[in-house]
Structure 1
């Protein structure tokens, strides 16, 4: 009797688990080119790399994925997806060939399905369509992919053909849009000749006045010392942008800067030593009420010789502040996006590690990762 009563519940649970997955095949506009690394042969994991021809960091991110694809030919099948025209992809591939399979999603079907807000962006799927991981490709490592692959090593993938994964739809009329957002007209960018360094934010607008390379670092959410320029050291600009574009579509801002000032942003990816901040006791994290400098105060941090105090920063934002201050690279790969207050010693590493652990429940770990630096030309 008990088993009979439980049976409907089991059916509901199984149905609920299945509903979390995305159903293959996915509709695309074109299979532009095949992979020069590996053919599709029932790999258990599918990785989709979202990129664009106008996205500087995408080049380095795709190169990193190509290296991972070489190492995981039997476990993962990787594809690169763009929503641009055939001609735009043609021109790009002549300069910078991509070794992964390249797909065009001109209708934006996959971009909407996986809520892609900025690029580069990657989604790792099981053959059942379950999203296992998503985010910036730099957050994927060989070890992490191997761990995902191990969990599927004894299962059978029934999707035996490439068209079981991707279905080519009828082509749509070519788009003449240069940028993906209608709100571009609300963005203003101009060169200024006053050496300022200001960043302010209201609920609706972001304004930056300062050096060009510092702005690019802010847009890409990377430390300032990872962006260099051979001829723009005294190039000051002012940018005003709707906050929604600043938060969700930084690639549009980069494209506008590149076009208006005729600059190239060249990514250079190499393995480097970095420090990872990992939360091991989230109960110790400070809330955002420990420090309050007021909403009208444009500065959200105070740096002295020995300490950093910061008001209302996420862990990822604190990592960038720490990186800028110590001229080292700090990263956070967790999923805590809430804002916290901070007061941490920074001069001696052992004292800093002790305060991070005791006051915030955070450990500092040294690792070697692929880090992208940007050169402005």
Structure 2
């Protein structure tokens, strides 16, 4: 009898070691904020983790898309919106924004770290065994993807078993305050691969390398900015709206950092946009509201609400890693809505021509180079 019990314990231990997900869940969360108001099945074959944050405008637009997708597939498919923020911040956000998806907190950052989440929004699709089936920008996850995965993944797992609740010690939320002056600047130690642009109700915040910030100000490809490594530090800069600081960003930054900028001309391959016959959309085609940034950028498509062509070309230049030259700078400053493809050149050219009357071609032309140095 003793031998049988010992064997059972050994088998149970072996199962736990070999199949830990049966006991410990696949997705670790610190706090469950809200159950899904759309999903109708306790046992699901597929689980989609929507990594987001309240400050991330494109995340909100992606959440609306995922909500629509969850409504179309209320059974066997479960979406969880997961944030690393303090739960009090998320709860306050939810009092102003209606969210119907399941919402949870990964305050310890375990799930964010497990899937190496470095940009938002981001989504990961798992089956009931915890196998990663798909990952990328949530807006790129389409119905046909979901249909295909549902047809080949029949095993289900209960929601309560899929998510493992971890205890954590909450901290007090420090209310964020805006800049006390029209402009403030802080050197930071964190590293940002791309520029983080956050539009707060009262100010614009730019976080990243000085090179990327200057590229943003000049609507340029980042490699058009020549700056030494010792000057290219990481900063957080905040500009109050409707101030001279915002209108003269370049001047105030160079004055604060005691730098100067001069221009040179470089000859090389560029994307040339001929907008002489352009028929741009107005600003009523897309309306994401006042609380969201203007861009939603997926793996192959770009959408924008109420932005200029110059702002679009800044994004495209850094996505495509080529300088962009336009035929008319004045027209490039008016505001419009946008929806275009950028991954494949021929498709992008067709999209721009058919939708906006913009002709794009690769040429060898002169384009500006911005040289940054100490005064």
TM-score by length of 2: 0.50
Max radius of gyration: which structure? 2
TM-score by length of 1: 0.49
